[in-house]
Amino acid sequence: MAEQKDEVLLKVEKVYYPPKRVLDKALISKEEFDQMYKRSIENPEEFWAEMAEKELYWFKKWDKVFEWNFPYYKWFIGGKLNITYNCLDRHVKNGKRNKVAYIYTNEDNQEIKITYGELLELVNKIANGLKSLGVQKGDRVVIYMPLVIEQLASMLACARIGAIHSVVYAGFSANALRMRIEDAKAKIVITSTWTKRRGKKIDLKSVVDEAVDGLDFVEKIVVLQREGDEFELAEKEIDFYQLIKDQSSECEPEIMDAEDPLFILYTSGSTGKPKGVLHTIGGYNLYTHVTTKYVFDIHEDDIYWCTADPGWITGHSYMVYGPLSVGTTSVIAEGAPDYPDPGRWWSIVEKYRVNIFYTAPTAIRLFMKYGEEWPAKYDLSSLRILGSVGEPINPEAWIWYYENIGRKQCSIVDTWWQTETGGHMITTVPAYPQKPGKAGKPFLGIEADVVNKDGEPVPPNNVGYLVIRKPWPSALRTCWGEPERFEKYWTEIDNLYFSGDLATKDEDGYIMILGRADDVINVSGHRIGTAEVESALVSHPAVAEAAVIGKPHDIKGESIKAFVILRKDYQPSENLVNDLKMHVRHELGSLAVPDEIEFVDKLPKTRSGKIMRRILRAKELGMPLGDISTLED
């Protein structure tokens, strides 16, 4: 056993150097990155001001780069811009009108291409359509749509006129959607009739109908009718293409302040309902632009593919705003990664000659299960950069990805960041040596550290809390309507940004992320709060109490196990297990459904009544129980 353990450690410690073909093309060398990093830490204001002038178009320059009235901060104070001008207009004006912005494909291999010029016109028409419905600067618009061009264009249309968009992943249940619509007090909801996954149509419209029932502040529901759908729409509803049919394809971008809100995105916390993370325009535009450019090493002729969904932050930053701001061509693919067969994604890489491919460890582990013969059937030689996002990638998956997808000819950028951070925080740029299982080093301007509870750095290779020492341009500005939840990020550990993740840092400064320190489970790269699943279970009439833990899972990273105490009139049964799973699916959506449900008579609690999930987890995994002095019995 000891030999095997050393073998794993050796694997982790092996350093992979970038292939020559990556180094020859890299925008910045390792030495250049190190010099830039040094400058960005020693004089962050000067560094970011230079970047902002070089990379973005401003209607008016800022008066002051940065201000920090702890815990609140601002960037580019007084600066005026519009993110859609940077994503669309300036490219069209600079001769890229006919460059393809997106190539859309789906499970039936249908294809739609839209150029920067066409996308700008579509965005303007949607923006004018929203204005005709009375949408004004600062109004909230919820978008619950499949991964189609119209979804991305709707996000941009909101940003064009200064409305705040809140995208909700189209796999969430009506209850989860309703909570988000209510919290944001959305004036408009944009949806679609259906999406298709594994060859089946999944109805989205009825989920919205249930979610908005009785919400009087929702004034209109805009419905994208797909392929021959001609539903009769109710009085509050309007057809997407009817709305924009007669609108002008010109719409002046609203002149926005750098600190005006851009979007709200809800993310699971360890307590209660999801937090509405609020991002503003200037710093977010700059940071997603710079990270997209340097982390993915984007060149003029590259084809880039991020497999995320815009319902998550990865889709916002690295499918919409970052790639468009740098002016690249992106692939988007609706549907399942392995349908109609496990070669689907690799056939897309081959067909479109994708150069940069960004996906989640869950997907990589799924393909590992199918075996290397599937990717081996395809020509993947166009690939240069492979990316990983959403959760730590285990060394075995890293090496499989490197060998079978990258054919040992690609750099892997393993990116650690969060909904709250807005952009990549820790990674290795492509010209940097990589260590499987370690995310790498802090990005430009990011002072990351691994500390103990008192905020003191821990020795190399010791486990501690991952923190960031100072605000960066794309950091969240608040939690919508709940400033106290925002303040907690900076007050939990000694006035540092507390990420909620455990990590280690080695002698070379490479950081390895070990997972959540709090009660948040990472299922397939998506954060799910234990409290959310527990409250969904307890809302079932049979359940008196529930506790939920995450367990290691070969493909999903973590699976959910629930421990349930029944009310006195109920008996454990297979039927009840299925009923509880369906109930959670209805309350939260399929991602949050427990894989296992165990009925128990009692739960381990502290004397103050707090459930000790770590004890449940330790028992479940056969690990030492640790300190149990606070247990009530």
Higher-pLDDT residue of 631, 355: 355
What is the structure's pLDDT at 308?
96
CA distance 431 to 563: 47
pLDDT range class, residue 277, cuts 50, 70, 90 = very high
- How does pLDDT run across 192-215, given as a tens digit for each residue? 999 999 999 999 999 999 999 999
Higher-pLDDT residue of 527, 588: 588
Pairing of strands 329-333, 303-306: parallel
Secondary structure (3-state) at 302: coil
What is the structure's pLDDT at 7?
36
CA-to-CA dists, residue 374 to 106, 341, 342, 366, 491, angstroms:
19, 9, 7, 12, 49
- How does pLDDT run across 4-44, given as a tens digit for each residue? 333 333 334 689 999 999 999 999 999 999 999 999 999 99
Q: Are 96 and 326 in contact (CB under 8 A)?
A: no
Task: Tell me the residue type at 249.
Answer: S
Q: What angle do CA 36, 37, 39 make, to 5 degrees?
A: 65
What is the structure's pLDDT at 525?
86
pLDDT range class, residue 2, cuts 50, 70, 90 = very low
Average of per-residue pLDDT values in the chain: 94
Q: Are 188 and 144 in contact (CB under 8 A)?
A: no
What is the structure's pLDDT at 9?
37
What domains lie within the chain, and their CATH numbers? 113-257 (3.40.50.980), 520-621 (3.30.300.30)
Give pTM, 2 decimals.
0.89
Q: Are 34 and 440 in contact (CB under 8 A)?
A: no
Handedness of CA 417, 264, 330, 60 (dihedral sign): negative
Side-chain-facing half-sphere of 243: CA atoms under 13 Å: 29
As a three-state string, the secondary structure of 133-195 is CCCCCCCEEEEECCCCHHHHHHHHHHHHHCCEEEECCCCECHHHHHHHHHHHCCCEEEEECEE
Q: What angle do CA 551, 553, 559 make, to 5 degrees?
A: 50
- How does pLDDT run across 474-505, given as a tens digit for each residue? 999 999 999 999 999 999 998 999 999 999 99
CB crowding 517-532: b at 16 or more within 10 Å, else e: bebbbbbbbbbbbbbb
What is the structure's pLDDT at 349?
98
What is the structure's pLDDT at 10?
37
Which whole number is the average pLDDT over 208-231? 96
Side-chain-facing half-sphere of 200: CA atoms under 13 Å: 4
Which whole number is the average pLDDT over 530-545? 89
Which whole number is the average pLDDT over 350-379? 95
Residues belonging to the chain = 633
> How many separate helices (H) and strands (E) can be counted in the chain?
22, 32
pLDDT range class, residue 528, cuts 50, 70, 90 = confident
Q: What percent of the chain is predicted at pLDDT more than 90?
A: 83
CA distance 501 to 153: 34
The pair of three-digit structure tokens given for residue 466, joined into one six-digit string: 């991952």
What is the structure's pLDDT at 6?
37
pLDDT range class, residue 1, cuts 50, 70, 90 = very low
Which whole number is the average pLDDT over 218-245? 95
Q: Are 96 and 116 in contact (CB under 8 A)?
A: yes
pLDDT at 572 over 90: yes
Handedness of CA 326, 330, 336, 341 (dihedral sign): negative
pLDDT at 386 over 90: yes
Secondary structure (3-state) at 197: strand
pLDDT at 130 over 90: yes
CA distance 244 to 254: 19
Which whole number is the average pLDDT over 583-592? 93
pLDDT at 419 over 70: yes
Side-chain-facing half-sphere of 466: CA atoms under 13 Å: 29
pLDDT at 112 over 60: yes
What is the structure's pLDDT at 568?
87
Which whole number is the average pLDDT over 210-233? 95
Q: Are 192 and 224 in contact (CB under 8 A)?
A: yes
Q: Range with the lowest mean pLDDT among 162-171, 376-385, 524-533?
A: 524-533
Q: What percent of the chain is predicted at pLDDT more than 70?
A: 95
In terms of phi and psi (left: phi > 0; alpha: psi -120 to 50; beta: otherwise), the region of 532 is alpha
**E strands within 485-573?**
497-505, 511-516, 520-523, 526-529, 543-553, 557-566
List the 385-388 sheet strands across, edge first: 111-115, 100-105, 329-333, 303-306, 356-359, 385-388, 411-414
Pairing of strands 356-359, 303-306: parallel
pLDDT at 612 over 90: no
Cα-to-chain-centroid distance, residue 331: 17
Q: Are 361 and 393 in contact (CB under 8 A)?
A: yes
Q: What angle do CA 39, 468, 320 make, to 5 degrees?
A: 80
What is the structure's pLDDT at 406?
98
What is the structure's pLDDT at 382?
98
Q: Are 100 and 520 in contact (CB under 8 A)?
A: no
- Give 18's DSSP letter: P
pLDDT at 3 over 70: no
